[in-house]
Structures are given as C-alpha cells and as structure tokens.
Amino acid sequence: MSDRDAEYLEYVTAHRGRMLRTARLLTAGDTHWAEDLVQVALTRLYVHWSKVRKEDGAARYADRILVNAFLDERRRMWRRRESATEQLYDAASPPSQDPAERLTVLGALAKLPRRQHAVVVLRYFRDFDVQTTAELMGCSEGTVKSQTSRALSTMRELLHDSLETMESLR
C-alpha cells in the first residue's frame, strides 16, 4: 500500500462516522441514501486526495463534496424514492429524547426545499457558522441567512401543527 493510500485510509477511518451522521441528517434519516452519499463523497475525495492532503483541507473538502452530492441528488427529478411514513431512525437523528418528536422534526426537515434543508443541517446540526455554510454550499452569506430564515419559518409552521396534533393525542 502506498503512503498516499495509507493516509487516505487513515483519514476515512477517522472521519467516516462524522460524514455518515451528517449525511443521515441531510437525508432525513434515510440510512441507505446517506451511505450512498458518503460513498460518493469518499470516492471523489480519493480522486483528489493528492491535492487535498497537501492543503490540509480534507475535512472541509469532504463536507463540501457531501453537501454537493446531496444537492445534486435532490435535483434529479427522474429519481423516485420510497418514503415510509413510520420509520425508525438511529442515533444519528437530531438530538431529542422523545422518539415521536424526533420523527416529527425529521419529517419537517424532509419537507423543506433542498437548499433550505442543507442550510438547517449545516447550521444547526453540524453547528457551522454562516461563512462556513456559505463556503460549503457555494453561495453567498446573504443567501445562507435568507435560506435559514425561510427554513426556520417553514419548520416552525410544520412543527407547530405537528406538535399540536401530538399533544391532542396524549
């Protein structure tokens, strides 16, 4: 195994879990789709590993590839996905002790347009600042702020209705 391959394998071993957690959030808990996105990102990262490892920007580059893979995938209109209405999500889901609440949040997240969805995951689940989110998404900071505002407004509406319904059932 070459030094290049050994360094790449070491990187993947250390960072694949983080990438998978991010991908699961981007895909609203769809583990299979998340694994596909991580595989695409790691494949693209390997192709450019010689350049990326010299710049010490592998993590940022991998995050950017992951977000782009998600956005590209969501753009494909021909791709149809099955979406289960009741699905168990694993520990990579948003932090919440109540499984029903966690499912509700993931459901609302899945209903957002792709860019708003990505902004919420990057800003609130990965805890990136506006500048980093803009770099990862390839847009301006103003766009990140406006997409965040719209996403949060939509999430509030979706969650308000859903949580009221859940409360009335208790």
Could you tell me if 23 and 38 are in contact, meaning their C-beta atoms sit under 8 angstroms apart? yes
The CATH number given to whatever domain includes residue 28 is: 1.10.10.10
User: Among 12-21, 51-60, 89-98, whose mean pLDDT is lowest?
Assistant: 89-98
The domain tally of the chain equals 1
- Positive/negative CA dihedral, 128, 72, 22, 28: positive
Answer with the residue of higher pLDDT: 44 or 103. 44
Query: Is the confidence at residue 20, as pLDDT, over 90?
Result: yes
Average pLDDT over residues 127-148: 91
Q: What is the pLDDT of residues 29-52, one digit of tens each?
A: 889 999 999 999 999 999 888 888
Residue whose tokens read 């879990």: 17
Alpha-carbon distance of 18 to 63, in angstroms, equals 10
pLDDT score at 158:
83
Alpha-carbon distance of 150 to 114, in angstroms, equals 12
pLDDT score at 91:
38
Give residue 154's domain range: 3-169
- Whether the pTM exceeds 0.75: the reply is no
Average pLDDT taken over every residue of the chain: 80
C-alpha distance from residue 9 to each of 2, 148, 159, 163 (Å):
11, 35, 41, 44
